[in-house]
Structure 1
Amino acid sequence: MVTEPTSRDRRRWAQYLVNERAEARVYRELAERKVGHEHDILRSLADAEGRHEAHWLELLGGEPASLPRASTRTRMLGWMARHFGSIFVLALAQNAEGRSPYDDDPHATAAMAADEKVHQEVVRGLAARGRRRLSGGFRAAVFGANDGLVSNLALVMGIGAAGAPPQFVLFSGIAGLLAGALSMGAGEFVSVRSQREMLDATEPGEFAAGILPDLDLDANELALVYRTRGMGADDALARAERVLERARRADAAAPNTDPVSVGDDHDVVGSAWRAALFSFLCFASGAIIPVLPWIFTMSGLPAVILALVLVGLALLGTGAMVGLLSGASPLRRALRQLLIGYGAAAVTYLLGLLFGVSLG
């Protein structure tokens, strides 16, 4: 026996309807910026949202006279799709698809609930490409900005707590900015360059064409080379036999390297110069914030309070961005960043108070 839907049911269906329409619009807008298979994938996601929309329209008996607004998260997705890069939108969409209410709604079909789970994995795969492109420079940018925020806040608060005059606090803050930014940039350059050199040393080598025909087909030690590159024993043996067979048939002057692709880890590491520049600029941009009150001739407790507020807002922003791009809760990451930053500043401030008392 089919029960008559309640007004609450109809309101919920109407909300699902507008959310599905908004999400389909987001995927279509993202698809317009892409080409090739990424364009096709995003259009397919939009079509799937359209099928879900048709389901709720059928339950509602047609287009309702009035519809609610889309959810805040869905409206944010649409706004970001129009104004920002796809990586931010896809990261939010991944979270949204993972929180689908269809698992617990008796009026949603099992196919719709399964679709949402698959959509989450599809969006995760699309977002992963952007995350890999961002990883090197983004890591340096986040670490640099947070290091600048926390270290320079701790520096000026510690010096201020010790009773130093405002001019000395300002000078110390600017000196800390320059020293930290140069150190961060140089350290990041050395770190990334060293990692790239290590990856270069692990790249597959090539075989001289002349040695392949001389290898023992029965022992076939060439198969060991392919096994070290990630292939299974049977696949490695079959690959080695094909290489040796071609080498024996081919002209000795023809190259027979047949390398195994192991992926491009260099894209994940990023450029050393870009990472160094990002670290320098982001440390400097973070380190200047705690000094701003003293730059504008403030002093004493008002300057300290304003510095805390400005740095707190910046920490919340960087933490939320990290959470967004990592697929985690932006609020949780923002609060974690804030607590870590304020904790370090509080310890330094207390040390400054003790130092000031001991000098007095």
Structure 2
Amino acid sequence: MRVTEQQRPASPAEIRRWRQYLADERAEATVYRDLAGRRDGEEKEILLALAEAEGRHEAHWRRLLGDQVGQPRRGAVRTRFLGFLARRFGSVFVLALAQRAEARSPYDADADATDTMAADERIHEEVVRGLAARGRQRLAGTFRAAVFGINDGLVSNLALVLGIGATGVPTTTILFTGIAGLLAGALSMGAGEYVSVRSQRELLEASTPNPASRSVLSHLDLAANELTLVYRAQGMSPEKAEFHAREALRTVAIATGPVDVKQTGGLSPAVDEHEAIGTGLGAATSSFCFFASGAILPVLPYLFGLEGMAAIIVAAVLVGLALLATGAIVGLLSGGPPLRRAFRQLVIGFGAAGVTYLLGLLFGTSVG
């Protein structure tokens, strides 16, 4: 049975807990207001509404505490960290962290919180998930390319360097092999992205209606109405195609200016799709840089003169830290546990490099 709004005697432990809840609600409201300050339009309104809801929760704990509110306390460390990020960045990372924070609400199991407050926190999680999803969608392509490129560079070049190093060849050979692997992989990634994006743009261009076709709409036979074939070719049913075609021709017949692109739906150019996929050169450059930034790490110990097992250990540590970082970032953005994602990335990367290292040892032994 949850509490009602009336006052009742409270134990020292309850007062401490309520004071902490009060501080946390105040800190969370500040986070949402700070995020709202970096946005506009609908997103700003939603974030301010979340801050207002946290204010209602704050008022609940104030009522329970009465004259025992005491001195203002600081919110939980993770909430204060969220506030720090919100004031300086206001990015999708902050929203992803806020989503996880809302999911950890203790109100479901606390009898001193009302059912409404517990329900609010559950709904807040979904609201923040929706806001974070918008940001994830905006950076999905770039983020995928960045994570894929960096991790590919880290794992493939570490495997190459360890595999060659395990055979017992001179350090200079390992160094130049690593540099060659960096350049070959980065160029391959860049060329692959360029071809992929260019091919996608060419496919879109082939599917984009010819602008000249729109200029002849007013001359079509209203009885035959061959415009229906355009809509049927795009997958509409005959009835729906007939309706859209007649509406388009009716609009053209009464128009005094240029043809309304929205009204002629199937004959409008697919400009947005072209902009969404970017340019081939931009994708190639990004992929080259992402791969190279990961592939350089296994080579750094050899560039600075380390040899043998010392170079291998340093290379493995550098790559391991980078894999942990990229895995944690993936976890944050996906709303999953960052540590679990980080260690998953580490195990996969080291597993691939370890197999190559063992093969290098076997090859070096058999040659020797």
TM-score category, normalised to shorter length: 0.7 to 0.9
Partner SS state of residue 34, structure 1: coil
Is the contact between residue 154 and residue 345 of structure 1 (CA under 8 Å) also seen in structure 2? Answer: yes
Conserved in 1, the CA contact under 8 Å of 2:218 and 2:249? no
Q: Give 1:216 shift.
A: 5.2
Superposed CA offset, 1:99-131 (max 9, x none):
322223222223222322332232223223322
Alignment of 1:156-167 (within 5 A): 156-167=161-172
Q: CA deviation at 1:244?
A: 4.1
In 1: Cα distance, 2:67 partner to 2:206 partner? 64
Q: TM-score, normalised by structure 2?
A: 0.85
| Change beyond 3 A, Cα 1:233–1:225 | closer
Q: Distance in 1 between matches of 2:258 and 2:314?
A: 71
Q: Secondary structure at the match of 1:106?
A: coil
**TM-score, L = length of structure 1:** 0.87
Within the alignment, does 1:61 sit opposite 2:66 as a pair?
A: yes
**Tell me, what secondary structure is at the counterpart of 2:69?**
coil
- Residue number among 310, 313, 333 corresponding to 2:318 in the alignment: 310
TM-align CA RMSD: 3.0
Distance in structure 2 (CA, Å) of the matches to 1:220 and 1:185 = 42
Q: 1:25 aligns with which of 30, 36, 41?
A: 30
Partner of residue 94, structure 1 = 99
Structure 1 residues 1-360: aligned runs within 5 Å: 4-62=9-67, 64-66=69-71, 68-202=73-207, 207=214, 208-210=216-218, 214-215=222-223, 221=228, 224-225=231-232, 228=235, 239-250=244-255, 255=259, 257=261, 258-260=263-265, 264-266=272-274, 269-360=277-368
Q: Distance between the aligned counterparts of 1:256 and 1:222, measured in 2?
A: 20
Cα distance in 2 for partners of 1:4, 1:226 equals: 74
Judge which range, 122-131 or 321-330, deviates more. Answer: 122-131
Change (3 A) 1:279 1:250: closer
Output the CA distance in 1 between the equivalents of 2:271 and 2:105: 34
For 2:336 and 2:252, locate their aligned partners in 1 and report how far apart those are by CA, in whole Å: 51
Residue type of the alignment partner of 1:328: G
Residues of 2 paired with 1:82 and 1:254: CA distance?
Answer: 47
Contact 2:163 2:357 in 1 (8 A): yes
Give, in whole Å, the separation in 1 of the partners of 2:61 and 2:279.
Answer: 49
Deviates more, 1:57-66 or 1:235-244: 235-244
1:241-261 Cα offsets, whole Å, 9 max, x none, are 54344344446x852551449
What secondary structure is seen at the aligned counterpart in 2 of 1:163? coil
Structure 1 gap ranges (5+):
none
Deviation (angstroms), 1:18: 1.4
CA distance in 2, matches of 1:58, 1:189: 62
1:138-178 CA distances to partner (integer Å, 9 max, x unpaired)? 21111111011101111111111100111111111111111
SS of the aligned residue for 2:185 comes to helix
1:221 partner SS: helix
